[in-house]
Each structure stands twice: as C-alpha cells, then as structure tokens.
Amino acid sequence: MPNQLIAGRYQVLRAIGRGGMGTVWLCRDDVLGREVAVKQMGALPGESATETKRAMREARSTAAFSHPNAVAVYDVVNHNERPWLVMEYVEGETLADEISRDGQLSPRRVADIGAQLAGALARAHQRRIVHRDIKPANVLIDKAGRPKISDFGIARGQGDDQLTAIGFITGTPGYLSPELARGEDPHPASDVWALGATLYAAVEGRSPYESRSNPIALLRAIATEPPRPMTHAGALAPAIAAMMDEDPANRWDMATSAKRLGGIAAVEATAVMPVAASGDTAVMPVVASGATAVMPVVIAAPVVEPTKRFEAGAPQQQPPDERGSGRRRVSLGLAALLLAAMGMAFFVSQLGDQGGTPLVLATTRATTPAQTAAPSPSRVSEEPTTRGDQKHLESFLKSYYSNVTKDTDRTWDQLSPRMQSFAGGREGYDDFWKKIDKVRVNEVRAYDSGTKASVGLTFTRDHGGTSTETHQFTFITQDGDYLIDSDRLG
C-alpha cells in the first residue's frame, strides 16, 4: 500500500492504525501539502451499492460536524470503487495504547478525558448523529494531551435504517450497550453507555466485562449481567454507573455527562478524595474552616424488580411535586464530590465565582443471582400512605441518623445488602461516617404505602461545615423492620 496514490491526490506513506474496521493510512495531501489520515470504509453486511453510496452521503454530511475533541472528517473519496474517509491526522496515541502501557489512569484524568469527549458527542447528538463505536481504540490523545473521538465519518444519522445492519462483531462487542447487545436500534443513549464503558476501562485498567473468545457469549453477558465492580474509580464511579445504567431512559444524556464529568475533574484537581476499600466510592470534599460543605449525598437505584440487574440514574418513580426540582434547590457552593451515606453517589457543585451549575448524581444497581431468584420485597405498592406509615418512617429515620455517627455497628444492619455493597462495604461505610459529627432529620414525607420517602436532612461535619439537602429514599422490610434500600439527592 505505501507509495500508492489514493483518488489521485493522497500519497500513502505508512500504516498508522489497524482494527476491525480496517487499516488507517498516513497520507500526504498533494493538493494542500498536509498530512492526513485515510481509511477505507468497510461495507456493512449485506449492503448494496446503493446503500454504500448512501453511507458516503452520510459521511459527507458528518464531515460538516466540527468540534475540538472530534477528529475532523475532511472528505469522502471514491478509490477503486470503494469509499475512503479523509480525516485529520492526530499525532499521538490512542487511549487504548495508554491503558495498555500505564494500566489504571487516575480518576481525575479520566474524568477530564470523558468531559471533553462527552462535549463533542453531545454536539453530535444535537445534529442527530449517533457514533455507534465509542471505545478506547477510537479515542486519540494528541501530543498536548487533548482527547479526540475518531471515526465520526463512519457514524450514521439517527433514524438511518442501516444503523441496525452494522456488524456487532466488528463493532467491538465489549463496548456495546445492553440494548444493542439485545439487538435493539442504536440511539444517543447507546453512545452514553459506550463512553461510560470506555471511561471504566481507562480508570480500572480493564473492560467492564471479562473478555471471551466467543463474541456472542460476550454480547449475552452484556445483555444479561452487570459490569464487574469498580475498585479504582474513586469519585468517578457514580458518574460511570449513571452513564452505564441498564435502562437507557435512566442514563444521563451526553450533555449532562459532559457537565458532571467536568465537575469531577475540577473537584479532584483541588481535593484529595479517599477511595472506598471495595467496589464503590467514598468521597469527601476538602472544606476550608468556616466554609459550607456539600454533605453526603446518598444515592441508589430505583426499586429492584426480580429480573433487573444493574442501574444508574434517577429512580423510576418520584413524588409528583418533587420531580425535577431537587437539583435546582441545591445551592451553589464549594465544588465537591461525596459518597452516598449508605450508597454510592456524589454531588458536584462548582464555585460560585465560576458560575458553575450544581451537579447531582444517580446510581448503580447490582442484583445477585439470589436476589433475582425470588420476587423483590421492595416492589412498590399503589396503596396510599397511612398516618402509621408516616410515623413509622419518621421514627426509623430519626433513630438511624441519631445513631449513625455514634454506632455504625447498629446502623449497618439497617441497610439492605444492596446498599451495603454500594457503600463500599463496611470499611468504606465506617470511614465515611467517622467524618460526620451529626445529622438532623428536618422533614419526612412518606409515599407509595411507606416504601418511599422524601426527607430533608442537615449534615454537620466534624470540623463544623454544614449542608441541608433533600433525599429520596426507598425501603424494604425484613421481619417487620425497615431497611434502607436506596437513596438519592433530589
């Protein structure tokens, strides 16, 4: 291939990348005198000549898309009856190369990479462009350290009937969302999941699912099993969980992902974030004396149904007058990330003089085989909440928060196994609560027959910083007693 001339203009110099979708060649543009990357577009399985021409039109349309964190597509040319993409040449390496060389990358660096890529993808989604093949090998890191998502020219518009024809095996099964693994149509939420999986790989040094020699088996695992627990993600874990929610409707959109990942990167640049001993994350802000701290935000998934497995994002049901208002009520303050008091979660709020927007998150959910074998005790009832439910929940929560800063042996047993897992295990739970001096329960409003409650809480840290938050809880019962099964800010 070297020394050949593509489309009478691009002189092939050498191969600079290879993958399932073909070889990328470094070429010299004889017209403009610049180096470019050129890649042959592979035909989709069963694609006709007419459909290939349509793909070329889509690629040319995509070439109009421009973003600093996306590899520019300059042109699509025909050479030997095949379409070729002419792209910006990015001198550097791929994120996959960096992971292979360095292993686990720092949460702050990964959050920064993710924020920039999400910004580019959010812009693409506004143009109804779905990428479909986001993975570490398609993230280029230039010499200045700036990430750029590549292969936008191969992406196709949302609604294109050829989206479903893309070969999953060549489309990197390890980074396909559960709905794609089940054979559903690609959409922007699929890109969000794939970016979350890419960030997972970068911060954990491994892909979310164990590699399998049989790609069909891997697709089945993605469709039916939760990702492997995160152990190194630190403050980034809740964000990745929110992006990789099994239910596309519960995932952050790409614009939200960009904002919140940017907030994590900013916070981690100025604060030392302790990491939970296992799985999920414990995060505490560094607060100057006298400053107001953003206090623990407990977060958890919606009520577990028997067949569900892993979830991140807003819960399925909320009280009608609370929906969408929690985030707006959070005051702008010191940027911070925190561990959910009993679950993995965080809240990010940028400094007021930066005009930052409060960033709140959502959760992961993992259901063990034992849990999926029997109906969940936390299934929500449609019956109205009684005065007895209200008083019982008030009593339970006041007792829990009165004891949690003094006797975690007692309160640990008041969490469901799922919440104990989200808290990073007993060590992570104890480590978090030893930093809190006291918690005041301000208001409890029970609903859905006492299986859920909206609760106002004021946290006081051991150095005196305080914060008042509203939390949405779900509960299960065991032997007549409540267990906290999930909690989120909002």
DSSP state at residue 478: E
The Cα 276–Cα 6 span in angstroms is 54
- Supply φ then ψ for residue 340, to 5 degrees: -60, 140
Kind of pairing between the strands at 466-478 and 10-19: unpaired
Sheet of strand 82-88: strand arrangement: 5-6, 10-19, 22-29, 34-40, 82-88, 73-79
Q: From CA 169, how far away is CA 176, in angstroms rounded?
A: 10
Q: Which of 75, 133, 160, 485 is catalytic?
A: 133
Tokens for 481, please give them. Answer: 């007693």
Task: Please state, in angstroms and rounded to a whole number, the distance separating the CA atoms of residues 19 and 29.
Answer: 23
In whole angstroms, what is the distance from residue 285 CA to residue 297 CA? 12
- Beta-bridged to residue 348, according to DSSP, are 359
Is 62:129 a contact under the CB 8 Å cutoff?
Answer: yes
Q: CA 425 to CA 281: how far, in whole Å?
A: 10
Active site residue 133: yes
CB 31 within 8 A of CB 10: no
Using an 8 Å Cβ cutoff, are 461 and 468 in contact? no
Q: Are the C-beta atoms of 487 and 471 separated by less than 8 Å?
A: yes
| DSSP strand pairing (436-447 vs 10-19) | unpaired
Q: What are the helix (H) ranges across 127-214? A: 178-181, 188-204
Q: Which residues are catalytic?
A: 133
